[in-house]
Homo-oligomer: A and B are copies of this chain.
Amino acid sequence: MRAVVPFDADRPKTRLADVLDERERSTLARAMLADVLAAVRAAGGEPTVLSTAPVDVDAPVRVDDRALTPAVNDALADAGPDRPVAVVMADLGLATGDALADLFDADGEVVIAPGRGGGTNALAVGHPEFRVDYHGLSYRDHRRIAEAAGASVSVVDSQRLSTDIDEPADLVELLLHADGRATAWLRDAGFELAVEDGRADVVRSR
Contact = CB atoms under 8 A, between A and B. Distances in A.
Contact of A169 (B117, B157, B159): B117
Interface of A: 98-99, 114, 116-119, 135-137, 139-140, 157-163, 169, 172-173, 176-177, 193, 195, 198-200
B159 A195 contact: no
A175 to B, nearest CB: 9
A198 B162 contact: no
A176 B99 contact: no
Nearest to A139: B176
B198 A136 contact: yes
Contacts of A135: 198
B99 A137 contact: no
Contacts of A140: 176, 193
A99 B157 contact: yes
Contacts of A162: 159, 162
A162 B99 CA distance: 15
Given A157-B159, A158-B159, A200-B137, A172 B117 contact: yes
